Every structure is written in C-alpha cells, then in structure tokens.
A and B are shown apart, each in its own frame.
Chain A
Amino acid sequence: MSETATNFGFTDAADDQDRQQMSYIAAISEALRLEMRRDENVLILGEDVGGEFGGAFKVTKGFEAEFGPERVLNTPLAELAFTGMANGMALMGLRPVVEVQFADFITTAFDSIVQFAATTHYRWGSAVPWVIRAPSDGGIRSGPFHSQNPEAWFVHTPGLKVVAPATPADAKGLLIAAIRDNNPVIYFESKPLYRSLKGYVPAGEYIVPIGKANLARQGDDISIITYGTQVREALKAAEQLAREDISAEVLDLRTLKPLDEEAILDTARKTGKVLIVHSANRMLGLGAEIAALIAERAFTWLDGPIYRLGGLDTPVPFSPPLEDAYRPNAAKIVQAAKELAAF
C-alpha cells in the first residue's frame, strides 16, 4: 500500500530551501515566517503549534525559537474559545493566524467563525482580519475525521473569504494575501500535497491576489474547473486526454469565495463543455454553484451538460478500496471528460 502515509509522519517543513523544488508545505511555512518578520501584529495560535514541536504537520517548527512564545501561542484544546479569541485579537488590530489541527475540527469553532467573525463588519463596521489555516483533504487513509473538505459551509457564509491553493507558489502567495486581507479568510491547505508536490516558489514578498483564478492549462475541447488537490489530478488527466486527442483546459480557482466568475464564464464559453471537479462531496459542493453560474450566464455557449465529479455523499471512508471509490482522481476525470467530449 504505497499510498499509505504511516499516518501523518512528517519531517521538517522548512528544510527545503531549494526555490525550484520547494514543497507545498515549506511554502506555507515561508509565507508565515516572512509575514511575522514583516509585521509584529501577525501571530500564530493553535494546538501544538509552539515549542520544538511546531504543529502536527511541523509548519511552525522553529517559530517559537525565532518569534517567542508570545507570538506562537500554544493553546489548550479548545477551538471554539481560541477562534473566538482570534476574533477579539483581530478587532484590536492584531492579525492572528489560527491553525486548526485538521480541517475536520473546524466545526468545533463554528459559532466563532460563521456567527461572529463573518457578520461583524456588516453589522457594526469593524474588520476581523484573521486567517484560519485548515489542513484538509484525504486520500491518505486517515478516516472520516482526518480527511474532510468542509469548504462549502464557509463559502455559503457571507462575510468570509475562502482560498484553496493547489501549488507551492500559490500556497505562499495566497497565504500572504490572506494575512494582509482585512477580512476573516479560511485557508484550506491540502495535506496530500504537503510533501508530494514541489515546484518553483518566488523568493521574498510574493502575493497572489484573492479572487483570481489561474488558467493552469489551455485547451479547446473541454474545460475542467477545479481547485486544491484535484488540480494536480486534472492536469494529469489533461495529459492523458491530450494523448487521446482531447484538448482539455484546466482552470484552477485558487479562491473559492469570492469566485472569479469571469474566469469561469470565459472558459465555459470558450470550450462549451464543462467538467467541475472537487474532493469534497458533490451534494451542494462548489460544483453546484459553479454549474448554476454557467447555466445562468453561459447557457447559449454550452455544447453539452455540465458535469460534476466529487466525493460521494458518504462520510469519508477509511479503508483503501472504499476511499478510492469515494474520491475523484485522474482516471475518473479522464473517463468523465471523454464521455463529455463525445457528447
């Protein structure tokens, strides 16, 4: 079972200094470190983020030594309270970056996020500029409570911003943008990409604006619209499709809220055939909103039904054959794309 990580067995994130081949997780660490050096209002809090340990995934390893325990707050196990605390800090002009140990545990902090943070500026005009880092997604045999993709709940919530980087460069650029944004931003980072995806990451200050999608591959026959872990799968699928004479365009959304509607409509109008892919389950996932948007505003350009691929409407199963059946992957994307192309 080569895909099985012996659980979340992670080494140091910051080891990788090679800019051409920087890992996704090292890019996250770098963004955090640079922002903390730049602005003393930026601080980190969460379970196990401090000390020598530096977090369950080691994103903040070495941070306490550099920035001190005042700026790297190791919290008791109490998500609702420490996320609510981030609300208060943010109102006072600090820029807390909260780590929830796994995205799955973000539900424990739900009230602090969707009730307080999301509504505050609308109600009384004060900004709540925090970031929650939420390690998400599965495929690594971690079971129902360490594999979730809960982004749709937050995309559904007015007042929040939501981003989901798919590359090391975007992991850095979007995190810096999120920290500087004056609103609560949930940053869904992909666990399966942490150490398996490497690429060029620009040095120094590098910002990827929130709200801008990236055309990851140009094509003519079909558009694959996706984000997060599935971008890599879509690009693999596009390679395969090219060998079968199907030219697939891949749009990486990067930001889930606010959606880059123009980029979505542009690609839909260009190819006339749209396949939306995400790891989260399909029912009322991002795909539903994107499909509705295209149906409303690009209907006459369409040459086929809008297809969606997502997780099944079940909890995320643990056992490898079940999880493989549950998740989208490159092979399933190829299959769906071929069907759609032939329509």
Chain B
Amino acid sequence: MTHTQLSPQQKLELYYWMRLTRTFDDRMLALWKQGRGVGGTFSERGHEAIGVGAAYAMYPDDVVAPMHRDLGCYLLRGLSPRRIFANLLGRETGITRGRDANLHGMGDLEHGIIGFISHLPQSLPVALGVAMSFRYRHEARAALTFVGDGASSAGLFAEVLNMAAVFNAPLVIIVENNQYAYSTPLSQQTKVPDLVVRAAAYGLPGVTVDGNDVEAVYSVVRQAIDRARGGGGATLIEAKTMRMLGHAIHDGAEYVPRELLAEWEAKDPLRRYEGVLQQEGVADAVELSEIGERCQREIESAIEFAEDSPWPDPATVSEGVYAP
C-alpha cells in the first residue's frame, strides 16, 4: 500500500496523540483503582492507532461518530483532556455536565463529533444521516464512524451498509475488530473472521488494515475519506487489533488466553511507532520521552482540573431535556 506521504512533523504529531491517549488511559485506570473514579469506564488500550490514525485523516469539516474505545479520536478532534476527565468524573465542567457517563454522550458539533449511546450500533445510521446531509447540500464532506466486531452482528450493520451503497453516501465505516465483544470471542460472533468481506455483499469497497499501525490506518482512512468527499461513495474498512484489557474496568478478562495477549503486546501500536520513528531518524529516545513528559503533565493537570471541578447542581437536573 502506498502510504500518503507524512512529514516528520506530522509523524511526531501522530505519536503525540497516541501517547496522550495512552497516558490518559493509564492514569484513568490508576485513578479508578484508587477508588477515585465514578461509575465504570472503558479502556482503549491497544486501539490508539485506530482512533488517532482515523481522526488524523479527517478534514476539519468532516464529522465523526466515535464509539467507546476511540478516546484518541475525541482528543484529536479537539475535546480537551480536562473536559473529558471531568466527564468521566461526572462534573459540571464535563462535556455532558454530568448527564452521561464515561465516553458516552461526548458529542460536540463544533468539533464535528456525534455523541455516543450504549445501544450498539446506533452510531452507524446516524453517521449515514450525517453523510446524507452532506450529499443533500452538495458539500464535499465525509462522515466517519466506528463499529465493533460484536456490533457488526446486529441487523443495523447490514441495513446501513446497504443504504450507504444505494445512496452512494460519503461515509467511512471502520470496523474495530479487536477479537472480542465483552467475553465473546470472534469465533462465536461470526463464521467469517474477515469482517471486511461483507462489503462485497453490498457493492461497497472493503479494505483491511493493520489496526496497530498508525500510518497505515491514517493512509487507508485518508483514501476513503478523499473518495467520499469526491463523490465516490462509502467504504468499509476493517482495522484488526486486540482489546488489551477487560471489556470495562470491572472486567479482568480471564476468558482471554494469555498467549493471545502476549502476541498482541508485541505489536503494541505505541511501542511499535516509537521503533519506526527512531529507525527513520524522526526522533530519538530523548525526544520521544520529552513528548511523553509533556503528555504526562497535560493529563495530570486535566485530572487536577476535573477533581477540583464542581459537581452539577441537583437543582438543574431537569434542565436541557428539550431544546429551547
């Protein structure tokens, strides 16, 4: 595959966003272990290259409907770690002002982000609708969304793929095939381990990408987005990766074979990209660790901000149900 040419500066940006995502995730997990969390939360560990690579491939006026493991996507689209952390902790300063939990509901149309609901895969038809609004207005813009291997079993997946093809919608759907849906392995989810083959059934192009290779993700998503923006229609992309931790914070994932995790640990998207950057002479270990420290500082200050933020005022609980 021909990688769209990335400058050293862009490569460092990709690294920064992945590192920021990982740092956020690590610190979040630590906080929860210390009992400083509220409710449950999802780790995106192992998914950094997908969320970041895909969001980096978007143009500013594109719109994305991320799911629960796309922290990097939210960050890159401009939601600050502070507001996201405050959301996790249910504070007034969070994106949903305490209304919705963890990465749910973090929509912000200013940043081209559609808020996520738990019901899977509800983001798919919504993203299709966003794409259709672009088509309707003759705007050269694309909608991007994500779906898990598990959620791809739901009927909506088929319905949306079909409609996206029929309508030639400017839509990019990324299947994050992380081998598990909660405790259910891919083998119990589908008899066809390559989810991308479903594209053909609807007359859509399908592309498989190594979901742990950030530049590869960037590259295929960029091509699909360019195609969509140019009137070429929808694309299904399957990004193969591994959910490295439990389904959510409470889940120890004892059902995942340890060898499988070890195999994927060796393909860790962040470590791997560090290797690439050093090999290409884009950055040395010192520069990379400086980026790491910067991320650490940002996340620490985000946590401080979130923990110091006020709780929502219970008197406001009924506000906002209806648009004014």
Contact = CB atoms under 8 A, between A and B. Distances in A.
A101 B311 CA distance: 30
B293 to A, nearest CB: 30
B312 A48 contact: no
Nearest to B118: A145
Interface in A73-115: 74, 76-81, 101-102, 104-105, 107-108
Contacts of B153: 76-78
Contacts of B312: 317, 319, 321-322
A10 interface: yes
A4 interface: yes
Contacts of A324: 314
A8 B40 contact: yes
Task: Using C-beta atoms within 8 Å of the partner chain, give the interface range for chain A.
Answer: 35 or more
Interface string B195-214: 00000000000000000000
A318 B182 contact: no
Interface string A6-21: 1111100000000000
B122 to A, nearest CB: 9
Task: Using C-beta atoms within 8 Å of the partner chain, give the interface range for chain B.
Answer: 35 or more
B184 interface: yes
B58 to A, nearest CB: 26
Interface string B143-167: 0000000110111000000000000
A146 interface: yes
Contacts of B100: 143-144, 318
Given A52-B254, A313-B318, A314-B317, A319 B99 contact: yes
B98 interface: yes
Given A77-B153, A143-B39, A105 B119 contact: yes
B297 interface: no
A7 B41 contact: yes
Interface string B100-126: 111011000000000001111000000
Contacts of B182: 47-48, 56, 101
B99 A48 contact: no
A318 B90 contact: yes
Nearest to B254: A52
Contacts, number: 145
A142 B188 CA distance: 28
Given A314-B317, A318-B90, A326-B317, A4 B254 contact: no
A62 B250 CA distance: 20
A314 B321 contact: yes
A141 interface: yes
A342 interface: no
Given A6-B250, A77-B150, A320-B311, A141 B317 contact: no
B250 to A, nearest CB: 4
A105 B41 CA distance: 18
B184 A74 contact: yes
A340 interface: no
B31 to A, nearest CB: 11
A102 B40 CA distance: 14
Interface in A289-343: 312-315, 317-322, 324-326
B189 interface: yes
Given A1-B38, A141-B38, A319-B38, A104 B118 contact: yes
A53 interface: yes
Contact of B314 (A7, A10, A318, A321): A321
A77 B250 contact: no
Contacts of A81: 155
Contacts of A312: 317-318
B37 interface: yes
B313 interface: yes
B172 to A, nearest CB: 22
B178 interface: no
Nearest to A76: B153
A51 interface: yes
Given A7-B250, A318-B96, A53 B105 contact: no
Contact of A319 (B41, B98, B104, B189): B98
Nearest to A144: B100
Interface in B9-35: 32, 35
A52 B153 CA distance: 22
Interface string A176-209: 0000000000000000000000000000000000
A53, A56, A77, A79, most chain B CB atoms within 10 A? A77
A341 B317 CA distance: 28
A280 to B, nearest CB: 16
Contacts of A79: 154
A4 B318 contact: no
B318 A143 contact: no
Interface in B299-321: 311-318, 321
Given A143-B100, A319-B90, A321-B312, A104 B119 contact: yes
Nearest to B151: A77
17 contacts: A50-B188, A76-B184, A78-B155, A80-B155, A81-B155, A102-B118, A108-B154, A141-B39, A143-B118, A144-B100, A144-B101, A314-B321, A317-B99, A318-B100, A321-B312, A322-B312, A326-B317
Interface of A: 1, 4-10, 47-48, 50-53, 56, 74, 76-81, 101-102, 104-105, 107-108, 140-146, 312-315, 317-322, 324-326
Q: Which 9 A-B pairs have the closest CB atoms?
A: A7-B40, A319-B98, A143-B101, A319-B90, A145-B118, A76-B153, A325-B314, A141-B39, A9-B250
Given A48-B184, A77-B181, 8 more contacts: A6-B35, A74-B184, A77-B154, A78-B154, A142-B101, A319-B90, A321-B313, A322-B317
